[in-house]
Amino acid sequence: MKLVIAIVNDEDALDLLDELTDKGFRVTKLATTGGFLRSGNTTLMIGVDDEQVKEVLTIIEDNCKTRHQVVSNPSPLSTTTGVYVPYPVDIEVGGATIFVVDVHDFIRV
Ligand code: 2BA
């Protein structure tokens, strides 16, 4: 058994959740925060049999879009004055960041 941990954009999360549950997968949704942007994202935990991993990855890929986001990054105006001015930086976020990990035990009581 595997645990698929998928970090996705909030805007993609509900459609993705719908498709996964419609197809019979069990999913846990967590409200999470990205360490870099410090903004909300969604983490889904999906426990599946080994042979179902490929189908889950395809569903995630179909539902999660890559986005460009402009963030304000403080940069030193001068190293001697220590004055910082924000400047815009374009970064690409997602579609999804996915970890697939082995499950040692799966227990439901
Ligand atoms: P954040 O940490 O908020 O990162 C959002 C986006 O900012 C990243 O998109 C990436 O494009 C950029 N970014 C992150 N760290 C950076 C850095 N040190 N320098 C330059 N740019 C940086 P994604 O790579 O698609 O990641 C989306 C979200 O997935 C992340 O949100 C984080 O919540 C999660 N994530 C990504 N890689 C991870 C990892 N190795 N471990 C745990 N969570 C991860």
The domain of 43 spans 2-102
Q: Which atom of ligand 1 is nearest to the CA of 38?
A: 3
User: Tell me, what CATH number does 41's domain have?
Assistant: 3.30.70.120
Q: Is the pTM of this model over 0.85?
A: yes
Shortest-distance Cα residue to atom 8 of ligand 1: 93
Cα 86 to Cα 68: distance, rounded to the nearest angstrom: 18
Assigned domain for 70 exists: yes
Share of the chain above pLDDT 70, in %: 91
pLDDT in tens, 11-58: 999 999 999 999 999 999 999 999 999 999 999 999 999 999 999 999
Is residue 84 situated within a structural domain?
yes
Q: How many independent structural domains does the chain possess?
A: 1
Q: Which two tokens stand for residue 86?
A: 């924000």
CA of 13 to the centre of ligand 1 (A): 17
Domain contains 79: yes
Binning pLDDT at 50, 70 and 90, where does residue 86 land?
confident
The pLDDT value recorded for residue 72 is: 81
Specify the ligand 1 atom closest to the Cα of 97: 29
108 assigned to some structural domain: no
- Please tell me the distance between residue 2's alpha carbon and the centre of ligand 1 in angstroms: 23
58, 16 Cβ separation under 8 angstroms: no
Does residue 72 sit within a domain?
Answer: yes
